[in-house]
Structure 1
Amino acid sequence: MEFHVSPQGDDSWSGSAERPFLTLERARSAAREVPGEVVVRLRGGTHVLTRPFELAEPDSGTVYEAYGYGSAAQEEAVVSGGRPISGWQERDGVWRAEVGDLEVRQLYVDGRRAARAAVAGLPGAAEATATGYVTDSAEPRGWRSAEFVYRGVYPWSEARLGMAEAGADGDRTVITMAQPGFGWAVELYNSTWAGNTSRGPGLPTSIENEPGFLREPGTFVLDRSRPGEHVLLYLPLPGEDPARTTVVAPVLETLVRVAGAREVAFRGLVFAEATWLRPGRPEGFVHYHGSGYYEGGGVETAVLGEGASVTYPSSSVTIPACVTFDDTTGVVIEGCRFTRLGASGLGVSGGDRLTVRGCDFETISAGGVVVTGSRATTLEDNRVRRIGLEFSGSPGIAVTGTKGCVVANNEITQVPHCGIVAGPGEGTRILRNLTVDTMQVLADGGGVYLSGAQGEGAEVRGNMITDTRTPYNFGLYLDYGASGVVVEENVVARADNTAVLHVGPPLENVVFRGNFWDADPLGHDDVPGGVTYEGNVTIKDERELNAATADIRARAGLLTPRG
């Protein structure tokens, strides 16, 4: 049985190809009334959601796919949580639109992600206090909606904290930061390194979202100085005209939520325009590592060596995803695109036998795919690029607590931190992936990064890892007591360091065999007891390395190349 949904449809119609439904909710209701497998075909155009689209156990066996999926006639069906912005008024070259109480953290102009207007750090001579900052500049006294960004507060961390108020104290300006976020940051960020001790987030590296920052064409600001009467400001690029330009602000935080369903499939759909508003609230975004952030609960201290230590969260919270699958069985997500999203793209929690194949993840504020606690998940032939645009610690693909997870033949490029991350799990296999241009913003990570025990059968094999960018990185990085892993026939080139054998806690039952590098890993001449290091080859000349690894290179990356 099949039903059709179209942006030009009507929910009072039959759902046939000639008389399609208007909404996904109506199609879901119709599918529940039909025994056996049901296919819901989405016609081309934008299917706007006013609330998250949810599927549960009664929806088992239903397929949602773009009309014509898999053929030359496939239509582009976009599932959107966005709202077009209209009613622009132009004043002094700036477009202005009243948007009521709408919170806008991301904005898309003719499909392009517009940046929030920003300046580099606090003006004047500034210093931190227990509750914020003081500076000899009067400029911050006019700020009302500013968000402070702390890039590299730890080399692997980037926080975002809101300002509460600013006022004069004689010739100085006193800035009070919003709580509890600033207090959490003071609690979390404490380190000692090379004889220097720091406490708290320090001075911001940049500050966003004040009308006075609107100087660069193509940027925007949400003026929240009047509660409930927000004004969206946009400085257009040359040639843009409000009468001809489509501007969309994401409104929903979750587009699709599937919980407990079996044998559900999504094919050929575009998931777009969703946001995540929590970082703009008083709690802020107190990032620690990867997709995790801190919201209180206490910290612990990690000793990194003599006279070196950092504090880290006793527990952390994971950035949410805009499309989520919880405790599902036999789900297939194929040929879909996840784009223009304000959190992570796809989140998988628990469940069994979920497959993500042939999908694209791009233009995303956080990570591409985050998998936690699932069994037999397969991530294959996916392309992840231009992610972590707002939360720079986010990895392209992250899996943790999984059993029998396979991450194979994916391409990860242009990401701000790690390409592929595997936390503690059992039998994770990372096979024939291609990572290029990882670690573009934050440090201490790699193209492929593993930490903790991996159980039996874990492999990192046949991957091509190149151009790991920032100083202090390891192209192929096993860290923090990684154990039970065979690392074989990988190629690592153009990294700050290719790999490292001495970490704390130490590696255990790890085999490095038959890998190719353009530089020797750190510790190769003093191999620790828990590591077997044999048959690895270092070739410093790039042409010789490419020739020797042609077969590995040919098998790594996408199975179905995209344009």
Structure 2
Amino acid sequence: MRKSLRVVTTGIAAVAAAATVALAPLPAAQAAPAPKVLRAAPHGSGTDCTVGHPCSVEGARDAARRVTGDRAVRVELADGTYALTRPLKLGPDDSGVTWAAAPGAEPVLSGGRAVTGWTANADGTWTAKAPEGVTPRQLFVDGRRAVRARGASCAAAVCDATKTGMTGAGKTGIAQWARPTDAEAVISVRWRNYHCRIASVTGDVMTFAQPCWTNSASGTNRTGPAWDSTTVDSTRYAKVAFFENAPELLDQPGEFVWNSTARTVTYLPRKGEDPRRFRAVTPVTENLLVVDGARDVRVTGLRFAYAAYRQPSTDEGYAGMQAGLTLTGATGPVDHAGRYYTKPAAALTVRGGRHVVVDRTEFTHLGGAGAVFEQGTQDSTLTRSRFTDLSSGAAYIGDTEPLPAAELVGARNTVSYNTVRDTGVEYTDAVGIWAGYEAGTVIDHNTLQDLPYSAISVGWGWNQPEAQKSVLRDNRITNNRITDVMRVEHEQHDGGAIYTQGAQPGTVVSGNYINRSAYGNTERDGNGIYLDEQSSHIAVTGNVITRIGYKWVSNWADYGIDNHATGNWVDTDAPALAGTGSTMSDNHTGLDRLPAEAVAVAERAGAQGRGRVEQLRPDLARTGTATQSSTDGAATAARVVDGDTSTDSRTLAEAGAWWQVDLGTARHVGQVEIWNDAAMTTGAFDVQFAEDAAFTDATTVHVDGKALRPTVIDTDTQARYVRVRLTGTGRVGLSQVLVHP
């Protein structure tokens, strides 16, 4: 470590010293010495670390430790792939060193191993031996992620899950599979995600690897409050999303399967792929770079790729609790605040770091997460970096202990100007950017899009006492661009584009642009800004929030207090905030066009500077007259055109039930949005367009199944009347119908 001398004086001596310094003439300015530059290369060796004789990355680290005095050290990595069989570890002795790409270079720290020697099979698949000691969980072909062979979903009526296992092996054909114990069940229940390997098949009954299944089922007393209602054996369990990793399921191009007995990988190539020429890589090494207890380390211009996350392939499996954290171990302390959950393995981990800078770095093709700052990391930054194609989340900042020892408090860390896209690919409960019990964290000007669950999550603890008084405070979630998140095809519920937990005084959520969160959902479930559980003392100001599947802001719990939503621009309304002292004021609600001021806020959000804003479309129904064939309860048909997706109206259950709006005069109709009500009652219906009240020569579009939030129908017609008419059984139940010109 490069050390500098610091003299500390106290009392009268300190005053005298200060006076002396003030009276002494200023010394001439001296330029800092140029940094010592050490060179590394993919196949470097030795200890010279010069241009002609570069070192390995570990050799460069060791050489940097030998540099004495106050001279800065810079390790420059040449172009190419650095195949790491173990993490590069930096400790206190590596403080003050910059790790950077050499000018013009694109160095890649890789944890991957090549899968070679492919041979053709008669059915069009190709097979190769896995590298020794490797259990492939992911496979990337020419940089494109392959999919573990998977089947269709299996409803609870067939695959009935219990605390000890599951039925359905016979009816699904699993009992006849050649190697059912290589396969996994993948299950989503509300916000939780589970991946457990089949351990045995006896008749129609399957058991699963332990402790994965026990930790996924009820009764552990080690999970969050009332979470037995979202376990695999709960009443909310509806199906196995799919079973995966069986040769009997290998039927789609781009799928692969791992054979643990033969230790082979079998792959069905996509069109244009030639296994004799392509490059196939599987992640093997976890934690490519670990910074443990170091200060003033800078990492810039590097790329992290093909890092592994081994836990899900073990008997631990993946018993997801929330946000990509899992319950592990066969036993553990009773806890309802999530203190003892396990974060996913990450390509880059910083533990107890001070003033660590990760800048202009890329994380891609990972089997786990991108970066983790934990165990008391402070005053550190993750900036201007890109995260794409990750099995888990992009960044995890902090821990789940509400009152840690002073040296373990996470504080004043910044995550800014990053781009996060297509993360949570395998573990769909993972969030884009997560922060636990943190103080003074800044999450600013990031762009997050195309994510399966929440984009940004800050805080922890639910309604437990631990969340009332913790180190959480003064966090800032500002100027982020969040689009197309909580994507409904992944069936992750009860989240939001921005999600918070716990009392965190001084926390601000402002200047964010949120567009399309849980858009197209089947129920009221996805939020814009979700102040969940005990979220308290949070200001939500000046955000632009549009096209949300449920509420633009949600603060449902009466023990979440003193939250204030002010000056936001939104295209719907929301109920008043719950909790003592919470207020909503001066918000611009029910908009069908964004004003210039809102557009300017939205354009400034995100990592890329001026960004595109999806403008709202005028709503002709807003000024129309709504009627319906009958009314169930006190609700009126006008609730469907009030610009508020939280209010409903429904008809009685009757044949041919309908709701309609009279636009007042014939207008051009280019699009209609049908928003289902809370109970999802509207299914199998016609949308009719006519110029007269008798619906003579009406144009009709039929919709099978249940209406979504929303069902969007593009058309090109003239109409004065727009009607939603039931063709099946039941009733028409709607929360909103928008008619766009």
Q: TM-score higher than 0.5 here?
A: yes
State the Cα distance separating 1:551 from its structure 2 match.
2.1
Question: Partner of 1:538: helix, strand, or coil?
Answer: coil
Native 8 Å contact 2:37 2:76 kept in 1: yes
* 1:444 and 2:494 are equivalent in the alignment: yes
* 1:11 and 2:50 are equivalent in the alignment: no
> What is the aligned partner in structure 2 of residue 511 from structure 1?
564
After TM superposition, the structure 1 = structure 2 runs for residues 260-339 of structure 1, keeping only pairs within 5 Å, are 260-295=293-328, 296-297=331-332, 315-339=340-364
- Code of the residue aligned with 2:496 in structure 1: it is G
Please give the alpha-carbon distance, in whole angstroms, between the structure 2 residues aligned to 1:537 and 1:562. Answer: 22
Native 8 Å contact 2:372 2:397 kept in 1: yes
Native 8 Å contact 2:46 2:53 kept in 1: no
After TM superposition, the structure 1 = structure 2 runs for residues 99-498 of structure 1, keeping only pairs within 5 Å, are 99=130, 100-122=132-154, 125-135=158-168, 136-137=170-171, 138-142=173-177, 143-151=180-188, 153=189, 155-168=190-203, 173-187=204-218, 190-191=228-229, 198=234, 203-224=239-260, 226=261, 229-295=262-328, 296-297=331-332, 315-349=340-374, 350-372=376-398, 373-424=409-460, 425-440=472-487, 441=490, 442-455=492-505, 457-469=506-518, 470=521, 471=523, 472-498=525-551
For structure 2, the residue ranges without an aligned partner over 5 or more in a row are: 1-35, 220-226, 399-408, 461-471, 613-741
- Code of the residue aligned with 1:144 in structure 2: it is T
> What is the aligned partner in structure 1 of residue 644 from structure 2?
none
After TM superposition, the structure 1 = structure 2 runs for residues 51-130 of structure 1, keeping only pairs within 5 Å, are 51-68=86-103, 74-92=104-122, 93-99=124-130, 100-122=132-154, 125-130=158-163
- Structure 1 258/505 Cα, relative in aligned 2: closer, same or farther at 3 Å? farther
State the Cα distance separating 1:244 from its structure 2 match.
1.4
Question: Partner of 1:387: helix, strand, or coil?
Answer: coil
Please give the alpha-carbon distance, in whole angstroms, between the structure 2 residues aligned to 1:4 and 1:353. Answer: 28
Native 8 Å contact 2:324 2:393 kept in 1: yes
Question: Partner of 1:198: helix, strand, or coil?
Answer: coil
Q: Which has the higher contact order (CA 8 A, sep 6+)?
A: 1
State the Cα distance separating 1:128 from its structure 2 match.
3.6
Please give the alpha-carbon distance, in whole angstroms, between the structure 1 residues aligned to 2:291 and 2:579. Answer: 46
Please give the alpha-carbon distance, in whole angstroms, between the structure 2 residues aligned to 1:486 and 1:129. Answer: 43
- Code of the residue aligned with 1:322 in structure 2: it is A
Native 8 Å contact 1:141 1:166 kept in 2: no
- Code of the residue aligned with 2:583 in structure 1: it is T
State the Cα distance separating 1:131 from its structure 2 match.
2.7
Any idea what the Cα deviations from partners look like across 1:373-425, whole Å, max 9, x if unmatched? Answer: 42110111000110001111111111121111111100010111111111051
- Structure 1 327/299 Cα, relative in aligned 2: closer, same or farther at 3 Å? closer
Native 8 Å contact 2:307 2:346 kept in 1: no
Native 8 Å contact 2:544 2:569 kept in 1: yes
Q: For this pair of structures, how many residues does the alignment match?
A: 529
Native 8 Å contact 2:47 2:59 kept in 1: no
Native 8 Å contact 1:499 1:522 kept in 2: no
* 1:43 and 2:78 are equivalent in the alignment: yes
> What is the aligned partner in structure 2 of residue 71 from structure 1?
none
Please give the alpha-carbon distance, in whole angstroms, between the structure 2 residues aligned to 1:539 and 1:149. Answer: 39
State the Cα distance separating 1:528 from its structure 2 match.
4.8
Q: After TM superposition, where is structure 1 displaced by more than 6 Å over at least 4 residues in a row?
A: 298-301
For structure 1, the residue ranges without an aligned partner over 5 or more in a row are: 69-73, 302-311
Native 8 Å contact 2:529 2:554 kept in 1: no
- Code of the residue aligned with 1:82 in structure 2: it is G
Q: What percent identity do the matched residue pairs reach?
A: 32
> What is the aligned partner in structure 2 of residue 305 from structure 1?
none
Native 8 Å contact 1:185 1:201 kept in 2: no
State the Cα distance separating 1:555 from its structure 2 match.
1.9
Please give the alpha-carbon distance, in whole angstroms, between the structure 2 residues aligned to 1:428 and 1:275. Answer: 31
Any idea what the Cα deviations from partners look like across 1:273-332, whole Å, max 9, x if unmatched? Answer: 01112112222211121122223547778xxxxxxxxxx867422223221000011111
Please give the alpha-carbon distance, in whole angstroms, between the structure 1 residues aligned to 2:305 and 2:228. Answer: 38
- Code of the residue aligned with 1:89 in structure 2: it is T
> What is the aligned partner in structure 1 of residue 652 from structure 2?
none
- Code of the residue aligned with 1:359 in structure 2: it is S
Please give the alpha-carbon distance, in whole angstroms, between the structure 1 residues aligned to 2:159 and 2:447. Answer: 43
- Code of the residue aligned with 1:363 in structure 2: it is D
> What is the aligned partner in structure 1 of residue 587 from structure 2?
536
- Structure 1 126/444 Cα, relative in aligned 2: closer, same or farther at 3 Å? closer
Please give the alpha-carbon distance, in whole angstroms, between the structure 2 residues aligned to 1:421 and 1:164. Answer: 34
Native 8 Å contact 2:552 2:572 kept in 1: no
Native 8 Å contact 1:485 1:510 kept in 2: yes
Native 8 Å contact 2:423 2:451 kept in 1: yes
Question: Partner of 1:166: helix, strand, or coil?
Answer: strand
- Please identify which structure carries the higher strand content: 1
Please give the alpha-carbon distance, in whole angstroms, between the structure 2 residues aligned to 1:300 and 1:76. Answer: 45
Any idea what the Cα deviations from partners look like across 1:144-175, whole Å, max 9, x if unmatched? Answer: 30010002x2x11111111012244xxxx332
Match among 607, 615, 625 for residue 558 of structure 1: 607
> Could you tell me the TM-score, scaled by structure 1's length?
0.89
- Structure 1 216/207 Cα, relative in aligned 2: closer, same or farther at 3 Å? same
Please give the alpha-carbon distance, in whole angstroms, between the structure 2 residues aligned to 1:346 and 1:502. Answer: 30
Native 8 Å contact 2:110 2:306 kept in 1: yes
- Structure 1 57/110 Cα, relative in aligned 2: closer, same or farther at 3 Å? same
Native 8 Å contact 1:419 1:446 kept in 2: yes
Native 8 Å contact 1:186 1:200 kept in 2: no
- Structure 1 13/352 Cα, relative in aligned 2: closer, same or farther at 3 Å? closer
State the Cα distance separating 1:18 from its structure 2 match.
2.7
Please give the alpha-carbon distance, in whole angstroms, between the structure 2 residues aligned to 1:513 and 1:117. Answer: 48
Please give the alpha-carbon distance, in whole angstroms, between the structure 2 residues aligned to 1:211 and 1:192. Answer: 31
Please give the alpha-carbon distance, in whole angstroms, between the structure 2 residues aligned to 1:107 and 1:279. Answer: 15
- Code of the residue aligned with 1:517 in structure 2: it is V
Native 8 Å contact 1:287 1:294 kept in 2: yes
State the Cα distance separating 1:201 from its structure 2 match.
5.5
Native 8 Å contact 1:192 1:198 kept in 2: yes
State the Cα distance separating 1:83 from its structure 2 match.
0.5
Native 8 Å contact 1:190 1:199 kept in 2: no
- Structure 1 125/327 Cα, relative in aligned 2: closer, same or farther at 3 Å? closer
- Code of the residue aligned with 1:223 in structure 2: it is N
- Structure 1 495/317 Cα, relative in aligned 2: closer, same or farther at 3 Å? same
- Code of the residue aligned with 2:352 in structure 1: it is D
- Code of the residue aligned with 2:393 in structure 1: it is G
Q: Which segment drifts farther, 327-336 or 128-137?
A: 128-137
> Could you tell me the TM-score, scaled by structure 2's length?
0.68
State the Cα distance separating 1:184 from its structure 2 match.
2.2
Native 8 Å contact 2:115 2:129 kept in 1: no
Native 8 Å contact 1:298 1:313 kept in 2: no
- Code of the residue aligned with 1:60 in structure 2: it is S
Please give the alpha-carbon distance, in whole angstroms, between the structure 2 residues aligned to 1:129 and 1:429. Answer: 43
- Code of the residue aligned with 1:175 in structure 2: it is M
State the Cα distance separating 1:238 from its structure 2 match.
1.9
> What is the aligned partner in structure 1 of residue 726 from structure 2?
none
